[in-house]
Amino acid sequence: MRPETGNSGRWKWGLAVTLVLSLLVLLVAGLQTYRKAPPLPERVVDPQGNVLATRESILAGQQAFLGYGLMQYGSILGHGSYKGPDFTAEALHLTARFMQDYYAQERFGRPFAELEDEQRAAVAEQVRQELTANRYDPATGTLTLTAGQAAALERLVDYYHEAFEQGAADGTLPPGLVPATAPDGSRPREALAHYFFWTGWLSAARRPGEVYSYTNNWPYDPEAGNTVTAGSVVWSAVSVAIFILGLAVVLYLQHRYQLEMEPVERIPQVELPQTITPTQRATGLYLLVVVALFLLQSLMGGYMAHQYSAPDFWGLDLNPILPFSVARSWHVQLAIFWIATAWVATGLYLAPQISGEEPRGQHRLAYLLLGALAVVVVGSLAGQWLGVMGKLNPQYNWLLGQQGWEYLELGRIWQLLLTGGLVVWLALVYRGLRKGLAREGDRGGLTHLLLYSSIGIVMFYMAGLMIRPDSHVTIADYWRWWVIHLWVEGFFEVFTVVVIANLLTGMGLVRRESVLRAVYFQLILLLASGVVGTGHHYYFTGGPELWLALGSVFSAMEVIPLTLLILEAHGQYRLLEQAGRSFPYKGTFRFLIAVALWNLFGAGILGFLINLPAVNYFEHGTWLTPTHGHAALAGVYGFLAVALLLYVLRNIVRPEAWSERLVNLSFWGLNIGLMGMILITLLPVGFLQLQQAIEGGYWTARLPEFYTRPEVRLLLWLRIVPDSIFIALGILPLLLLVVRGLRHLRPVALPGEQPSEAAPARAAGHRG
């Protein structure tokens, strides 16, 4: 049982007010996003009134884009994968070029490239004016194109028909993956061209009454009239100033009121449990699933990294059976699955440890939940493959195949089942904590915070259910980032803080009276900045300019609590040094220290680098984004999952099955491997791509030719070294440790019971 930690007093109300106000700001700005989303026309017509595209054909294109996994090959409005083009930027630039050729022939009888300088300038200016002019009529829902735009749309349909017929030159987009005519008689290639044209149109057409487009002039393409806006520059400067001021104020408050966890003067002898409960024993299988999914996810990452530098996989052409888009879907989904499973296992393990009891039959429900999670994982991964490969009827693809949105690829049925699994997990956690909650009394105590953070994990994942097949791309992206940012980067972070506080308190390593105020101070900072900071994902996706202000200021403030983590890392390092060689949780603490450092570097420094609107305008949709993503998701939440895994595993296995050598090898393998990926490949390629976007326009940075540049190819090839270290020296030792540990589990007994003489044998063969 965990000792009491004092009373939360006014802290809990301060945290509640912070959360409510932050969500209120996010929701009010969200209402503005609904109201000011770019129009989805009922019909697109030429100057004579002939219908060229309709609302239905544009939405059919969006569904084809998602259903065939194209968001895991290329991107739309900068969001998605980076192997293929950004279809918005490509469509916009092709439209501009096709219009230039059309008017060059119409006015001068020659191709645009053969015009004199003055003629070329006149045509280019005409094209810019037509692209930036907004001819949408809200009264009739009609978008009227100029003659040049209408001709460009016709050529765009032909272009994408040929592009999807031939596939990518390197084979990563298999030829004919998107059919010209689907079994239901629809024409997905034509619909895709309509969808891409529409996103290109809204990125250049000026908002009514404004001098910038619906996407704040993104992507950067001077030929289409898109350049960086004044708002992007101004709010970048303001956010830096507020960050400096906020950091000074927070550091003052922390030191003035001693708002950090204070270590005890003498580290107590930390004892491992002699027995474990049936549910705690069940978590062993969860840990095996965690490491297995971690390994599979990393293998998919290595496979994709290799495809950037070579079309085949060591002489084998796997693209016909494992296209790049499927591998990336799996890579992203598996990351969520294995990290979330580690969270689930930790919650199940901690409940009886904190509460001091285990409800009858809890372990059977834990095994049932694990089986349900396995069904969701296998079913959703299989559905994604079947959907992308065209093996599912289109009307079932969204339900059983894949929804297609990045990080929400899994089909809606699997999403609902995963949501149900999280609800069951929450019920199990509450069931296990019930006595501890009653004993704690204080509704703002650590045990209650553990329950509240678990509720947040379940609730914010449900935001993804707001997205429907016909959702406007801007609205879908609004809710999608509730899951990615608020769920993963928000409430996973809250859960992290609370779990670490519970661990440190339970081991008697920190002063009890300092714990609650330090936890609440950190949570208030995280939520005050992080919730509204979600806005930096909405800069260029069709939302109002308001997001430039909110996103830039609050995402800059997100760095403040992350900066304080360096102090937390130092404190944890001191605890580890003082605990001595006999301290049983050295591996967990090493990874916690690494998490704090990766949080500062990955989420803080790299996040700050790309979140300034003036930088993000050119960087959005380049390799600098996955640089931040790998450092933050893998380095923070991934390594935290490993830390929690080691804590649980250390408690449930017998001492003779434990190996600090394997733990140390895994620690250095994972950290060196991840840092190598970033410094050798991701970061330098990202800077080269950023430079290309600034010098040649964003669309040029996403051309296949960029990856054939000699320096880029070299950096991509070198990625094999850190990838191999990460997998062979990082994950495999961890897998070996878990497999060996599961063969030597501690005896099972309920709290307060003594294991019988047969307990060790019973524990080894126990199946619940």
pLDDT, tens digit (0-9, with 9 covering 90-100), for 519-569: 899 899 999 999 999 999 999 999 999 999 999 999 888 888 877 766 666
pLDDT over 60 (residue 763): no
pLDDT over 50 (residue 141): yes
Percent of the chain with pLDDT over 70: 95
- The answer to which of 461-470, 563-572, 583-592, 757-766 has the lowest mean pLDDT is 757-766
Percent of the chain with pLDDT over 90: 75
Provide the pLDDT for residue 184. Answer: 82
Provide the pLDDT for residue 506. Answer: 79
> By C-alpha distance, which of 481, 617, 473, 486 is closest to 545?
617
The rounded distance, in Å, linking the Cα atoms of 37 and 47 is: 25
- The answer to which of 394-398, 534-538, 569-573 has the lowest mean pLDDT is 569-573
Provide the pLDDT for residue 766. Answer: 33
Provide the pLDDT for residue 762. Answer: 34
- The answer to which of 38-52, 212-226, 490-504 has the lowest mean pLDDT is 490-504
The mean pLDDT of 498-516, rounded to a whole number, is 81
Average pLDDT, rounded, for the chain: 91
The rounded distance, in Å, linking the Cα atoms of 693 and 367 is: 51
φ/ψ of residue 186, rounded to 5: -75, 165
Any idea of the CA torsion for 322, 671, 262, 1, to the nearest 10 degrees?
50
Provide the pLDDT for residue 327. Answer: 94
Angle between helical axes of 117-132 and 147-166 (0-180°, round to 10):
90
Classified as helix, coil or strand, 404 is strand
Helix and strand numbers, DSSP H then E, in the chain: 30, 8
pLDDT over 80 (residue 759): no
DSSP 628-639: HHIIIIIIIIIH
Statement: the pTM of the whole predicted model exceeds 0.95: no
Residue 678 burial (CB count, 10 A):
23
pLDDT, tens digit (0-9, with 9 covering 90-100), for 441-475: 889 999 999 999 999 999 999 999 999 989 999 99
pLDDT, tens digit (0-9, with 9 covering 90-100), for 639-655: 999 999 999 999 999 99
| Residue that the structure tokens 């109002």 belong to | 544
Provide the pLDDT for residue 394. Answer: 78
pLDDT over 80 (residue 279): yes
Which distant-in-sequence residues (6+ apart) come within 8 Å of 404 by Cβ? 65, 66, 67, 68, 69, 70, 71, 387
Q: Is 177 left (phi over 0), alpha (psi -120 to 50) or beta?
A: alpha
The rounded distance, in Å, linking the Cα atoms of 123 and 109 is: 12
The mean pLDDT of 32-60, rounded to a whole number, is 97
- The answer to which of 284-298, 368-382, 712-726, 752-766 has the lowest mean pLDDT is 752-766
* Six-digit token string for 557: 């403030």
pLDDT, tens digit (0-9, with 9 covering 90-100), for 288-332: 999 999 999 999 999 999 888 877 766 778 888 999 999 999 999
Provide the pLDDT for residue 4. Answer: 45
| pLDDT band, very low/low/confident/very high, at 395 (cuts 50, 70, 90) | confident
Provide the pLDDT for residue 720. Answer: 94
The mean pLDDT of 435-445, rounded to a whole number, is 89
Q: Are 746 and 275 in contact (CB under 8 A)?
A: yes
> By C-alpha distance, which of 348, 370, 200, 203 is closest to 285?
370
pLDDT over 90 (residue 497): no
What are the b/e assignments for 67-93, b being 16+ CB within 10 Å? bbbbbbbbbbbbbbbbbbbbbbbbbbb
Using the Cα atoms of residue 35, residue 37, residue 43 and residue 49 in order, give the sign of their dihedral.
positive
CA–CA–CA angle 546, 549, 555 (5° rounding)? 125
Question: Higher-confidence residue: 315 or 62?
Answer: 62
pLDDT over 70 (residue 758): no
Provide the pLDDT for residue 756. Answer: 47
Which distant-in-sequence residues (6+ apart) come within 8 Å of 639 by Cβ? 591, 594, 595, 598, 670, 671
pLDDT, tens digit (0-9, with 9 covering 90-100), for 344-354: 999 999 999 98
What type of residue is 9?
G
| pLDDT band, very low/low/confident/very high, at 257 (cuts 50, 70, 90) | confident
DSSP H helical ranges for 389-443: 394-396, 412-440
